Amino acid sequence: MQKKLKAAVLGPGNIGIDLMLKLLRSPYHEVALVSGIDPQSEGLKIAASKGIPISLEGIDGVLAVKDLDIVFDATGAKPHLKHAPLLKEAGLFTVDLTPAAVGPYVVPAVNLDQHLNSAMNVNLITCGGQATIPIVYGVSRVTEVEYAEIVATISSRSAGPGTRKNIDEFTQTTRQGLISVGGAKDAKAIIILNPAEPPILMRNTIYAKCDTRRIDDIVKSVNEIVAVVQRYVPGYRLKVPPYADGERVVAMIEVTGAGDYLPTYSGNLDIITAAAVAVGERYAQFKQKAVF
């Protein structure tokens, strides 16, 4: 039987709680610690109720555990800028769920294996990036994408304090991910918090300026990449399949969450925690020198 990696979740907010619950099901990880700084944290209470060791020392609590294998940072962009060098110095492989963009960008459906044996810190960009970059990549591997623009719309109910504090980082990091991972020459990212009741599902509209004469090949490529994303995010689907609109291709993605912690309309939460688990499990395979 494979040896599980000892994992710590740093930041027991909405994302951290959802991630913790997913990691508890993973055959590759043992959740050895959940660390935060708020004594009233719901995440710490849930972790303790499940018998998981907790700490109120934040990053110091993580660094105090000597036999960890992997750390998932679910705090915020500014805190992670402080955490990253400390985790690197401690020799801990870190999956960054914030838009801090310290390490190389990783989207499991696109470049999962590229950095796992060379980087100590990998960045999951943003929820909008995880949802839309695969589509832009699906277009760019068929034909050059001159410009990509994405509009990520999420329920305001699913946007916690961390999301709201990181709006600027979201737009900047998502844009860069659309270029460096998605393959667009230039890009723009927009996020909309929709207060509608009942809450809407996460929806992402993608526009790609390209040679639309190759629309049939683009549709095939995008469908293939959607199938890859669905392996780790079952609620990911094409709401509007790619179609040609003048000099651009337009598509829409909808994400239904798994409902591990928050309601299923929080697909923005689900897609980034599911991506984190996918990265963590692949790292475990690398570390254990598994054949795959």
- Is residue 97 within 8 Å of residue 104, measured between CB atoms? no
Who's near 119: CB < 8 A, 6+ residues apart?
103, 104
* Selection from 280, 289, 290 nearest residue 5 by Cα: 280
CA distance 70 to 162: 22
CA distance 168 to 182: 20
- Is residue 255 within 8 Å of residue 267, measured between CB atoms? yes
Task: Print burial letters for 103-142: b (CB count within 10 Å at least 16), e (below 16).
Answer: bebbbbbbbbeebbeebbbbbbbbbbbbbbbbbbbbbbbb
127 is catalytic: yes
Q: Which residues pair with 70 in a beta bridge?
A: 7, 93
CA distance 251 to 238: 8
Burial of residue 202 (CB within 10 Å: 0-12, 13-18, 19+) is: buried
DSSP 213: G
Q: What residues are designated binding site for NAD(+)?
A: 158-166, 268
- Is residue 207 within 8 Å of residue 150, measured between CB atoms? yes
Q: What residues are designated binding site?
A: 158-166, 268
Query: What stretch of H or E contains 252?
Result: strand 248-255
Helix, strand, coil fractions of the chain, as percent rounded to 5: 40, 25, 35
Of 32, 127, 178, 249, catalytic: 127
List active site positions: 127
